[in-house]
Amino acid sequence: MKNRVLQLLFVIAITTVILILLNKSSISLYTFVGTVFFITSVGIAFIIFIENRSPQSTLAWFLVLAILPVFGVFLYALFGRSRWRRKKHLHRDEERRKVFREILEGSRLKQEIPASLNERAAHLATIVQKFGGGPIANETATKLLTNGDETFTEILTSIQEAKHHIHIQYYIYRADEIGTKIRDALIEKAKAGVIVRFLFDDLGSSQLRSSFLQPMKDAGIEVVEFEPILSPWLIETVNYRNHRKIIIIDGKIGFTGGLNVGDEYLGRSKKFPIWRDSHLKLEGKALYKLQAIFLEDWLYACSGLNSYSWEPFMNREYFPRWTVNAEGAVQIVASGPSANDKTIRNALLAAMTSAKRSIWIATPYFIPDQETLTLLRLSAIAGIDIRILYPGISDSVISDQASQSYFAPLLEAGVSIYRYKDGFMHAKIVLIDEEIATIGTANMDIRSFELNYELIAMLYDSSTVLDIKRDFEQDFKDSTEIRWEVFQKRSIRKRILESLMRLISPLL
């Protein structure tokens, strides 16, 4: 609080000095402001140039700063700054986190590949692990949850069965009917003595008010926001959001996937009467990694990973020796802006590169980087069945038009693109050869690959993969395939709009 007051007083003082100086000089305020923005734009352009960003991103920034310097400066302040400050801030206590991971994974999740995995799955899992993915966990049962009704029913049932703790984390959490229902269930368990920790992203859940959260706090629930927007570090943090969706019950049952908490995910929105989504329920050893991801986010949000100790969580209450008799294995892969590489993107590329017959993708936002786009095109040309399932109705004009700018080269190469009829396709799934699948929070776009905190679960030799295949087949039936011969006839006006939105997309 003191930092915010001091910053405000500093800004007021500087503004006052500038206005006094302008009043005593012959320079107009308009000329002064224009000069400041011009110099700032040139400085920003130089910084972007020496950072060696991608050619697409660099060119986009140069054009915006040249054509709309004032808009460009504000856009850069919010979304364009380099991650080096952020990474330095996040890694201040990296050694302690490293020790925690070594203890956790060394004592509970061995690095060896389970002998039950087939050769192909074992090879891919090893590669993903080298890319930064988590250990491969066998003895883990998974269940595909299709759409909101099934997902929220399972979540509420598991919450009611909690005995020791409930950890819940969301990007978007709404104070509507389903949000209130889950909140009240959490309050009930907290009053019964269950430890409840509630973490939400302050941008995605910006509509949450104290009147909604206060009853939780009164019941003893620990409520923390991730990267508050109204903070001394607004400009450094607004672009790096926590997009993860995690629920953990007693360290034994977990949930992750595409669904946030809100009535729209139940098809109760006028704009989206049909909301197609997928979630995943997990039980068993893979919960160790999921729990670790939650705790790292929680501790960072609480104290920046400086003074809060891991020790209270390093016991069997949070990491129980809980295994389930289940086939296959699960590998949790997490990434974020503090990572040195695009861990999830690289894991997906490794999985898609291994494809021999098919790659099916469901994503609400399709803004691939050049490596992903090239892989999909070449795979289609090589005869692999590439299908992309995309929303029929989008929630973002910029994303929708930017996504469609990538359709032409893919369709021409033989990729099949399906638009989900009359509804919003929000699932984030990749299916490889009907044998390996990924499901999680990450979209197939640059923001998920580079800027957001995300996670995916990779499923190997699991019957859940067959359930994912079943849903895909039904979704294709409920979709309209985009034909190349029709798509290429779209108007010049639409092509210009697509190109403009594609130009902006690397900035966001």
3-state secondary structure 83-129: CHHHHHHHHHHHHHHHHHHHHHHHHCCCCCCCCCCCHHHHHHHHHHH
Residue 402 counted as domain residue: yes
Query: What pLDDT does residue 110 have?
Result: 60
Q: What are phi and psi of 439, to 5 degrees?
A: -145, 140
Question: Are the CB atoms for 264 and 249 separated by under 8 Å?
Answer: no
Judgement on whether residues 396 and 430 belong to the same structural domain of the protein:
yes
Judgement on whether residues 242 and 290 belong to the same structural domain of the protein:
yes
Question: Are the CB atoms for 244 and 258 separated by under 8 Å?
Answer: no
Question: Are the CB atoms for 298 and 224 separated by under 8 Å?
Answer: yes
The 3-state DSSP class for residue 308 equals coil
Task: Choose among 171, 219, 218, 227: nearest CA to 455.
Answer: 171
How far are the Cα atoms of 226, 231, 250 from residue 195, in angstroms, in the given order? 19, 28, 9
Query: What pLDDT does residue 231 have?
Result: 60
**Which H or E element spans position 433?**
none
Task: Encode 242-278: b = buried (16+ Cβ within 10 Å), e = exposed.
Answer: bbbbbbbbbbbbbbbbbbbbbbbbbbeeeebebbbbb
Overall pTM surpassing 0.95 (yes/no): no
Q: What are phi and psi of 226, to 5 degrees?
A: -90, 125
Residue with tokens 């405000």: 8
Judgement on whether residues 468 and 488 belong to the same structural domain of the protein:
yes
Judgement on whether residues 275 and 369 belong to the same structural domain of the protein:
no
Question: Are the CB atoms for 433 and 357 separated by under 8 Å?
Answer: yes
Question: Are the CB atoms for 361 and 349 separated by under 8 Å?
Answer: no
Query: What pLDDT does residue 279 have?
Result: 98
Give the domain extent around 159: 87-112+140-325
Instruction: Give the type of residue at 362.
Output: A
Residue 367 counted as domain residue: yes
List the CATH number of the domain containing 438.
Answer: 3.30.870.10
Task: Choose among 139, 442, 102: nearest CA to 292.
Answer: 102
Distance CA 77, CA 54 (A): 19
Question: Are the CB atoms for 291 and 251 separated by under 8 Å?
Answer: yes
How far are the Cα atoms of 117, 295, 306, 336, 377 from residue 310, in angstroms, in the given order? 33, 9, 11, 21, 46
CA dihedral 460, 466, 469, 470 (to 10 degrees): -160
Residues belonging to the active site:
243, 245, 250, 426, 428, 433
Residue 193 counted as domain residue: yes
Judgement on whether residues 69 and 185 belong to the same structural domain of the protein:
no
Residue 124 counted as domain residue: no
Query: What pLDDT does residue 106 have?
Result: 57
Judgement on whether residues 70 and 185 belong to the same structural domain of the protein:
no
For 100-104, the CB contacts below 8 A with 24+ separation are: 100/292, 100/310, 100/314, 101/292, 103/314, 104/288, 104/292, 104/314, 104/319
Question: Are the CB atoms for 287 and 247 separated by under 8 Å?
Answer: no
Judgement on whether residues 379 and 503 belong to the same structural domain of the protein:
yes
Q: What is the pLDDT along the chain (508 residues), one digit of tens a residue?
A: 444 445 445 445 555 555 555 555 655 655 656 666 567 767 767 666 665 566 666 666 677 777 767 666 666 666 655 554 455 555 554 555 666 666 666 555 566 677 788 999 999 999 999 998 988 999 999 999 999 999 999 999 999 999 999 999 999 999 999 999 999 999 999 999 999 999 999 989 989 999 999 999 999 999 999 988 766 555 556 777 899 999 999 999 999 999 999 999 999 988 899 999 999 999 999 999 999 999 988 988 887 554 446 778 878 899 998 878 898 999 999 998 877 789 999 999 999 999 999 999 999 999 999 899 999 999 999 999 999 999 999 888 888 999 999 999 999 999 999 999 878 999 999 999 999 999 999 999 988 998 899 999 999 999 999 999 999 999 999 999 999 999 999 999 999 898 888 877 765 5
Query: What pLDDT does residue 427 have?
Result: 97
Judgement on whether residues 93 and 75 belong to the same structural domain of the protein:
no
Residue 125 counted as domain residue: no
Judgement on whether residues 321 and 431 belong to the same structural domain of the protein:
no
Question: Are the CB atoms for 243 and 204 separated by under 8 Å?
Answer: yes
Judgement on whether residues 148 and 225 belong to the same structural domain of the protein:
yes
Task: Choose among 334, 325, 331, 280: nearest CA to 121.
Answer: 331
Instruction: Give the type of residue at 119.
Output: E
Ramachandran class of 411: left when φ > 0, alpha when ψ lies in -120 to 50, beta otherwise = alpha
Residue 336 counted as domain residue: no
Judgement on whether residues 289 and 147 belong to the same structural domain of the protein:
yes
The 3-state DSSP class for residue 144 equals strand
Residue 267 counted as domain residue: yes
Query: What pLDDT does residue 49 have?
Result: 62
Question: Are the CB atoms for 218 and 63 separated by under 8 Å?
Answer: no
> What is the token pair recorded at 468?
């994912």
Domain count within the chain: 3
Query: What pLDDT does residue 11 have?
Result: 47
Judgement on whether residues 456 and 491 belong to the same structural domain of the protein:
yes
177-191 and 210-218 helices, crossing angle to 10° = 20
Residue 265 counted as domain residue: yes
